[in-house]
Structure 1
Amino acid sequence: MNSEIKTQQLTAVLEVLQLAERLKFELRHSWLSNGRQESVAEHTWRMSLMAILLEPLLDEKVDLSRLLKMIVIHDLVEAEAGDVSVLDQIRNPELRILKQQREELAINRIREMLSKANGQEIYDLFFEFEEKQTFEAKVANAIDKLEVQLQHNHADIATWEEIEYDLSFVIGKHVAFDETFILLKDLIEKQASEKLKMAGLNVEEIRSRAISSFG
């Protein structure tokens, strides 16, 4: 590869990195234990750490390099499309469709920006995550769901909306493919239960309502 082509590729990489910088200030619905709102970049970072720490404990061998790429890439589109919380999507299902459309436009733009480098690989990894068919994609999605609940557990319960009480108990369907994730889900769910009890809430009533509402 000659220097001119490599320079063009590096220029495209810098453009994507400039776009990605927005994730440092694109805020999510979640709050931190110090009372500050979480950024998308922080969520992605801890997902990556979880993947590294959990990899040796999984039932099947996972391609860690591919898994980490998928995790880092999956929210990159939010630098352009913005973050739409699950709560907003539950309240207004049309937002889910709009979110998908915006993210597809964003990943297509990123593929074009990196067309001379690895744009197609990034595009393919984004949709692999979305389709949840490969083992790596299932792992990435399980980590995504568990990290969200873990962050809620760390935050002051005053930052929780009532619907989040219920959502603490519906992660099981996302982790059923691997015993490690089932056990981790149980531990994280136990943390949530204790937090709700300390707030004077009826955990069994919430759990029953959650199962009835969300399956």
Structure 2
Amino acid sequence: MMEQLIKQIEFIKEIDKLKYVLRRTCLLHSDRRENDAEHSWHLAMMAIILAEHANERVDLLKVLKMVLIHDIVEIDSGDVFIYDTKQNHTNTGEELKAARRIFGMLPPAQAEALVEIWEEFEAGQTAEAKFARALDRLEPLLQNTSNDGGTWKEFDVRYEQVVAKKSVIARGSEQLWAFAEDMLKQNLEKGILKK
């Protein structure tokens, strides 16, 4: 029992590193970049508050697990900017290696369960994964809108690029996508996003 506890505590200490992984997006109404731990916490709160808007009934606990662990792999792989034109945002091979190392610090049953949840999120096929991924795409949209374009302006991201990346929201929630689409159109009309 003590050996299991020691492994769990080592994992808990390891994931503290998530607080140092900076994302490109800044906090709402701020010029301070968000870290992955803040992002994951925010998504967990969004899941609790917005679950009623999912296209299908979801297991909220599973969604919470997904949003809380989905970026832990970035401790090893780093955060890849979704609009990066040189590096593919879908670096699943490198991230799977990271998932196996980090979750592998836990006792085998827990490690396997977390890798499975992480893989389910990445595959994006279940109702829970679709909804979790919708939230993951919605949060930066809220941030960039609150910051008059934020990283969109900084990296000259165009309206069509944002729509292409954000349209995945609809797979998890048509209601959230309608809200997001309206927000994107407003950003276009205000000149925050350009065609």
Pick the TM interval, shorter chain: 0.7 to 0.9
Quote the residue 1:52 is aligned against. Answer: 48
Query: Helix, strand or coil for the counterpart of 1:163?
Result: coil
Q: What amino acid is the match of 2:63? A: L
Q: Map of 1:125-204 to 2, 5 A cutoff?
A: 125-157=117-149, 159-160=151-152, 161-171=155-165, 173-177=167-171, 181-199=173-191
Aligned equivalents of 1:176, 1:73: Cα separation in 2:
22
Judged with a 3 Å threshold, the aligned counterparts in structure 2 of structure 1 residues 96 and 199 are, in CA distance, closer, same or farther, namely closer
Q: Which has the higher helix share?
A: 1
Aligned equivalents of 2:103, 2:69: Cα separation in 1:
12
Which runs of no fewer than 5 residues in structure 1 stay unpaired?
A: 207-215
Aligned equivalents of 1:159, 1:58: Cα separation in 2:
27
1:11 deviation in Å?
Answer: 1.6
Aligned equivalents of 2:102, 2:193: Cα separation in 1:
45
Quote the residue 2:8 is aligned against. Answer: 13
Q: What amino acid is the match of 1:18? A: K
Q: May I ask how many residue pairs the two structures share in their alignment?
A: 192
Q: Which 4+ residue blocks in structure 1 deviate beyond 6 angstroms?
A: none
Deviates more, 1:51-60 or 1:156-165: 156-165
Aligned equivalents of 1:164, 1:50: Cα separation in 2:
26
Quote the residue 1:23 is aligned against. Answer: 18
Which runs of no fewer than 5 residues in structure 2 stay unpaired?
A: none
Aligned equivalents of 1:106, 1:45: Cα separation in 2:
21
Quote the residue 1:72 is aligned against. Answer: 68
Aligned equivalents of 1:200, 1:112: Cα separation in 2:
44
Q: Deviations 1:41-76 (Å, cap 9, x if unpaired)?
A: 111111111111111333422111111111111111
TM-score, structure 1 as length reference: 0.78
Q: Does 1:92 align with 2:86?
A: yes
1:172 deviation in Å?
Answer: 6.1
Q: Who wins on radius of gyration, i.e. which is larger?
A: 1
Aligned equivalents of 2:25, 2:79: Cα separation in 1:
11
Aligned equivalents of 1:176, 1:52: Cα separation in 2:
18
Judged with a 3 Å threshold, the aligned counterparts in structure 2 of structure 1 residues 57 and 185 are, in CA distance, closer, same or farther, namely closer
Query: Helix, strand or coil for the counterpart of 1:29?
Result: strand
1:171 deviation in Å?
Answer: 5.0
1:117 deviation in Å?
Answer: 5.0
Quote the residue 1:211 is aligned against. Answer: none
Judged with a 3 Å threshold, the aligned counterparts in structure 2 of structure 1 residues 79 and 183 are, in CA distance, closer, same or farther, namely same
